[in-house]
Amino acid sequence: MKVFLKKNIKNRIRNGHPWIYENEIESYEENIKNGNIVDIFNHENFFIGKGYINFNSKIRIRILTRKNESIEKDFFKKRFISALKRRNTKENSFRVIFSEADNLPGLIVDKFDNYIVLEINTLGMERFKSLIIDTIVELFNPKGIFEKSNNSSREKEGLEKFSGWVYKNGPELIPFNLNGLKFFADTKGQKTGSFLDQRINAKSLKNFSKNKVCLDAFCYTGNFGMHMLLYGAKHVTFLDYSQRAIDIVNLIAKENGFKNYETIVGNAFDILKNFDKSSKYFDIVSIDPPSFAKKATNKQSAFKGYKEINLRAMRITKDNGLIATSSCTQVISEEEFEHILFSAGVDSGKLIRVIHRGDQPFDHPYVLNILETKYLKFRLLQIENIKE
């Protein structure tokens, strides 16, 4: 089945971006259905690649390959093997496939020791689910594969949400090791169950945590705070508004033998404000809120949210203390994020010294030709009062 692009197709497509929008297509052969693999040609009948199509989506086609090859099990196996070679890691827990960034749009695969969690976000990829599962079994021989396809983008694709074991069975909380800590990926939790993308940023606190009083706000299952405890923190307060996440924090702390901590279930915006009112100060504050805007049109309210939470964090951080601050809002750039931090610093009378910059780890690579793959920003800030 063939699709022909308009004459002046965007350089974006030529330069390796896999998305083709509805308004970039000149004509379609008959009888093409949602989820079909189509052969893509330019207006001069030159082959561009193969991809899957969905008429329900503005991103009408996502290119899977620029070669004239069949999309079958060998294709997926080759893609997985290339991704593993790129990662070249000895870690047991890491992201195996990061969607567009690994030339498999719509597919995310995380490995948590002996288990695999996969997430499918598009109809085109959904149709290859059993081939993907076969490939994973062949390459990893996992104890179980859990599918956690709960992203709201599935509705636009005409797919229902789904979560459940798709190969063998496993526990509700999948145990795994990370940086010398025991963790659980929650099959009923957020994203794939654990935020592997923050594991290297959390490590950046290694040289700073000893004997420190710390706050892990927006902690989910406690990634940053557990690392601070591992690195010798005197005390960590874990804060999240999800009771389930906090229950797992308690379980993880127990597994690792940590007792010098407390948990709070509540809204971080209010609780940080109350800490400020009651003059409760910390040596290190981590803030890692969820994405504040999905679309560029909502950027202004995201700016407001980031400024407010960073300002509150600055107010409750001791002089010369540290803030580990993250933003996973894709539409906010590195420069915009730093400007927000500067602006919060100005309003709170602080000098903001950036002592470490972090972003996505090697297994969540961003591709310069596909800017949508870049989302995570991380700064370790040292906060100094401007007035002595």
Question: Per CB under 6 A, does 246 bind ligand SAM?
Answer: no
Nearer to ligand SAM, 3 or 328 (CB): 328
What part of residues 199-218 is at the interface with ligand SAM (CB under 6 A)?
218
- Of 4, 378, 18, give the one whose Cα is nearest residue 198: 378
List of residues 6+ apart from 246 with CB closer than 8 A: 219, 238, 240, 263, 264, 265
User: Interacting stretch for ligand SAM, rule CB under 6 A, among 42-50, 100-108, 226-234, 240-248?
Assistant: 240-248
Q: Are strands 213-217 and 282-287 parallel, antiparallel or unpaired?
A: parallel
Beta carbon of residue 202, minimum distance to ligand SAM (angstroms, whole number): 7
Strand partners, 94: 111
* Interaction of residue 337 with ligand SAM, rule CB under 6 A: no
Candidates 165, 199, 158, 167; CA nearest to 57 is 158
Query: Is there binding between residue 256 and ligand SAM (CB under 6 A)?
Result: no
Residue 224 interacts with ligand SAM (CB under 6 A): yes or no: yes
CA–centroid distance for 240 within its chain: 18
269 binds ligand SAM (CB under 6 A): yes
Q: Which residues pair with 163 in a beta bridge?
A: 148
CA 330 to chain centre: 10
Stretch of residues binding ligand SAM (CB under 6 A), selected from 67-75, 219-227, 253-261, 316-324: 219-227
Reference 313, options 279, 343, 287, 280; nearest CA is 287
Among 76, 128, 146, 220, binds ligand SAM (CB under 6 A): 220
How many residues contact ligand SAM, by CB under 6 A? 20
CB of 353 to ligand SAM, least distance (A): 22
With beta carbons less than 8 A apart as the criterion, state whether 187 and 150 touch: no
User: Does the footprint of ligand SAM cover residue 167 (CB under 6 A)?
Assistant: no
Stretch that binds ligand SAM, among 15-23, 158-166, 236-244, 348-356 (CB under 6 A): 236-244
Nearer to ligand SAM, 54 or 198 (CB): 198
Which residue's entry shows tokens 């350089």? 11
Residues numbered 3-62 forming contacts with ligand SAM, rule: CB under 6 A = none
Task: Give the torsion sign (CA, 358, 363, 366, 368).
Answer: positive
306, 368 Cβ separation under 8 angstroms: no
How far, in Å, CA of 3 to CA of 151, rounded? 28
At its nearest, how many Å lie between ligand SAM and the CB of residue 205? 12
Q: Which is nearer to ligand SAM, 35 or 358 (CB)?
A: 358
Question: Where does this chain bind ligand SAM (CB under 6 A)?
Answer: 190, 195, 198, 218-221, 223-224, 240-242, 245, 267-269, 288-290, 328
